[in-house]
Amino acid sequence: MPEGNALHRSARVLNRVLRGRSVTRFESVYPQLTRVDEDAQVRGRTVEEVSAAGKHLLMRFSGGLVLRSHQRMNGSWHLYRHAEPWRRGKVRARIILETAEYVVVGFDVPDATFHEERPVARSPVDSLGPDLLSDSFDAAEAHRRLRALGPWAVGEALLDPRAMAGVGNVYKSEILFVGRVNPFARVAELTEAQLAHLVATARVLLAREAEDTRSERSTTRSADPRARLFVYRRGGRPCRRCGTAIAFRRQGVQARPTYFCPTCQR
């Protein structure tokens, strides 16, 4: 699943090329989208803004119409010039939007709905916690929401977008390593300082990559492409701090892969 920072980066690119442009074509394989398009035609509307909220992409059109989508594990948005070949087959296209200059394709996007601008607060976006990449990010509120998940393992709590939006599975392991917190510790066991440090670390790591033009994730800031991450997918390899073999376990009801250092993260 794409991390929140990758989605924010995509939103910025789409916003830059689509904002102020008129829609010349809209097509989708989803009946819930085509029904709205039939009643309140998207073609002819102007794209007012493309933004991200947690892991939701929001396309706002003139007239108060909002297209909300979530990429889940395999979805992605591609941007093409009209004559440019697509990097995926058309059979995988779920949403197609065109302007005079560009074609935007949502490949394998499994979750998408239209909302009116005012009722959008009743969409899944409304349940999100503070967005780590928002200029108005409220660290105290994120801290409060995480603390409320006291019985949860902290590795699971960081992934709950209702507490803090934007963290994916890769960054979960990386944030906890930087914070020297064991992923299986309960939130209730953490001190206020530890919890605050995790919130601050999450914001720093995601914001750093959101500004990075490279597509690959990196938390170590190393120029070596083989040393981009501290622990994720490094099971059995030596910890970059202490040399202990990185441990691997699955966590939560979805059995998410979790990597950590048994020594640094006791």
Could you report the per-residue pLDDT of 47-84, keeping only the tens digit for each?
A: 999 998 877 899 999 988 999 999 887 899 999 999 99
Question: pLDDT band at residue 10, thresholds of 50, 70 and 90?
Answer: confident
Q: In the prediction, which pLDDT does 97 show? A: 97
Considering the chain, what is the average pLDDT of its residues?
Answer: 89
Q: In the prediction, which pLDDT does 17 show? A: 94
Q: How is residue 63 written in tokens? A: 């007239």
**Count of CB atoms situated within 10 Å of the CB of 96:** 16
Higher pLDDT: 198 or 255? It is 198
Q: In the prediction, which pLDDT does 33 show? A: 92
Residue 112 pLDDT greater than 90, yes or no: yes
Q: In the prediction, which pLDDT does 8 show? A: 83
Annotated catalytic residue within 2, 130, 161, 183: 2
Tell me if residue 256 is catalytic: yes
Residue 202 pLDDT greater than 50, yes or no: yes
**Residue ranges, CATH 1.10.8.50, the chain:** 139-260
Digit-coded pLDDT (tens) for 165-193: 889 899 999 999 999 999 999 999 999 99
Q: In the prediction, which pLDDT does 212 show? A: 61
**Residue ranges, CATH 3.20.190.10, the chain:** 4-127
For residue 58, give the nearest of 22, 106, 129, 101 by alpha carbon.
Answer: 106
| Amino acid identity, position 73 | M
Q: What percent of the chain has pLDDT over 70?
A: 92
Class of 4-127 per CATH? alpha beta
The CATH code that applies to domain 139-260 is 1.10.8.50
Q: In the prediction, which pLDDT does 147 show? A: 93
Annotated catalytic residue within 9, 48, 55, 60: 55
Tell me what the mean pLDDT of segment 141-159 comes to. Answer: 94
Annotated catalytic residue within 3, 48, 98, 174: 3
Q: Residue 106 contacts by C-beta under 8 Å, 6 or more apart in sequence?
A: 69, 75, 76, 77, 93, 94, 95, 96, 112
Q: In the prediction, which pLDDT does 60 show? A: 94
| Amino acid identity, position 125 | V
Tell me what the mean pLDDT of segment 27-44 comes to. Answer: 90
Residue 245 pLDDT greater than 80, yes or no: yes
Q: Residue 46 contacts by C-beta under 8 Å, 6 or more apart in sequence?
A: 20, 21, 22, 23, 61, 62
Q: What percent of the chain has pLDDT over 90?
A: 64
pTM above 0.85, yes or no: no
Q: In the prediction, which pLDDT does 148 show? A: 92
Tell me if residue 238 is catalytic: no
Higher pLDDT: 265 or 207? It is 265
Annotated catalytic residue within 60, 145, 172, 256: 256
Tell me if residue 116 is catalytic: no
Q: In the prediction, which pLDDT does 54 show? A: 75
Tell me if residue 90 is catalytic: no
